Amino acid sequence: MNVNDTFDTQLDAQAPDIGELVNCLQTLFDAHGLPPLLFQSFAMALDEVISNIAAYGSAHDPIRVRVEIVADEVRAEVSDDGVAFDPLQLPDPDVTSGVDDRAIGGLGVFLVGKVMDAVTYERRDDRNCLHLRKRIVVKPDA
């Protein structure tokens, strides 16, 4: 794999610089001519996941984010050293009731699952590891 096909960074667990992460992601996607919609999906998903770790997690060490382009898909892994927590085990939020009648929480994880092709969790080496995958689909010019 070409070194330009991946980036690996660490963010402060209590005050992550999501703007800098999004800039790195934009640079990687632009270098490969990837579609803006694919970038937007990953930027939203990574923002949501990292914001949740910072707001609700118990991580002490930096949050690690690795994004790589492999064949026809983009893969990302977000890992932290917090207490074991699989966000994919949360029940789907109620999206049918009015906003005032809904329980708070869970919508972000639900949306991440909707914009990615695959989202998986594993506990590895005392770290929470969330894997995001999305196929690269380039629409032909009209």
What is the pLDDT at residue 96?
60
Distance of alpha carbon 24 from alpha carbon 45, whole angstroms: 15
The phi and psi torsions of 64 (rounded to 5 degrees) equal: -100, 135
Rounded Cα distance, 114 and 41, in Å: 10
CA distance linking residue 119 with residue 112, whole number of Å: 8
Q: How far apart are CA 12 and CA 74, in angstroms?
A: 24
- What does the CA dihedral 126, 43, 104, 13 come to, rounded to 10 degrees? 40
Query: Which domains, ranges and CATH numbers included, belong to the chain?
Result: 3-135 (3.30.565.10)
First to last CA, the chain: 32
Report the SS3 class of residue 80. strand
CB within 8 A of 117, min separation 6: which ones? Answer: 73, 133, 134, 135
pLDDT at res. 94: 61
pTM across the whole model? 0.86
Q: What pLDDT was estimated at residue 108?
A: 77
Mean pLDDT per block of 10 residues along the chain (142 residues) reads: 75 93 95 94 96 91 96 95 91 62 64 94 97 88 56
pLDDT of residue 97: 60
pLDDT at 26: 96
